[in-house]
Amino acid sequence: MADKPSRALILYGDGMARLVDPSHTHLHSLASRGSCGFLTLDDSPPAESEGERVIREVAQLLDSSEALFPRSGKDSTTLDGMKKSLTPTMSDRFMGMKAALVTNSLGLKSLGATLGFTVLQLDDLTKNNHSVSEPPVDELLKLLGFQGSKAMDTSQFDLVFVHTGVGEKDRIIASDVEYINCLVGGIMKVAHLGSEIGSRLHCSVVMSYGAISKDDNNCSLSLLPLKDENSNGLSVLFPSQSYTVKEGKIRSNVRDYCPMLMAQWQEAVTRKDMAETFSFKCFKECGGNLAIPADRFLHELAFKLWKAPKYGA
């Protein structure tokens, strides 16, 4: 644990997990230096549109599904429905946390405003003619109170959530993943060992599989262990995994395949596991975080910012 509260940068690539390849060296470097694992999602409701999926999965990642599905059970993925929600703001939930959501997605802007985020346009950060290979690293770090190589005593925000990918455009292309890859490279360059930024910046890279199909429910993307023909039924003696349980009850709608991939890194603070590449296979075999529900992600992160009590072990 750091001797001062961290400040968090979350880079979320919606639908990008499928497109990470060996050329994305900065993503793999982050995975090799950090702690990796999975964030599980709920099954999607029937006849869900792509826009609704984008909002629902981000809401789950922010543990704010109540903003979309209030106690009445009515789907509120529309702007009017979200405005009527009584969901508490980020500041209310996490000890005055100041949070920003950076996105070009209209639907996510509405969700962010409902949850008390300061909503920023991603394009506004890139108005200084940044290219894919030179993303707005300095601009993002400045929002968190990092300027040059220094960590300022105060910051505009405690947490900045950057959304890219599905939801801001019709489809993902290779350059979208390269954009995140270069962002990670720029951040790791300034947050090196011994730097003021490195000791205070907690970076999370989260990538989802986006829209899925029945063909995705296969062993290569499943969290379930392979069935052993010689187990003789002993598998029933193993306890349920934590991601399948909430408040002591089994979650009935957990999707046990195509989870979000998550890599977290803070120099000299996060534990290093055995993962070497940013991939499902490597995270499953070598990751240190295994799988937790996506709606617990923000609580774990808020603890590192000194904005919430410890969740779990």
- For residue 227, what pLDDT is reported? 46
The per-residue b/e assignment along 113-141, b for 16 or more CB within 10 angstroms, e otherwise, is bbbbbbebebeebbeeebebeebbbebbb
Higher pLDDT, 212 or 108: 108
Measured CA angle at 103 (ends 102, 109), to 5 deg = 95
CA dihedral for 46, 49, 52, 53, sign (positive or negative)? positive
Plot region of 120 (φ>0 → left; ψ -120 to 50 → alpha; else → beta)? beta
Phi and psi, residue 117, nearest 5°: -75, 150
Tens of pLDDT along 125-179? Answer: 866 655 666 789 999 999 999 998 899 999 999 999 999 986 555 566 668 899 9
Tens of pLDDT along 48-92? Answer: 899 999 999 999 999 998 877 654 445 455 545 555 456 789 999
Q: 290 has which bridge partners?
A: 37
Of 14-28, 78-92, 214-228, where does mean pLDDT reach its minimum? 78-92
Q: Reduce the DSSP state of residue 150 to 3 states and report it.
A: strand
Q: What pairing do the DSSP bridges indicate for beta strands 159-165 and 249-250?
A: unpaired
Quote the pTM value: 0.89
Q: CB of 90 within 8 A of CB of 59?
A: no
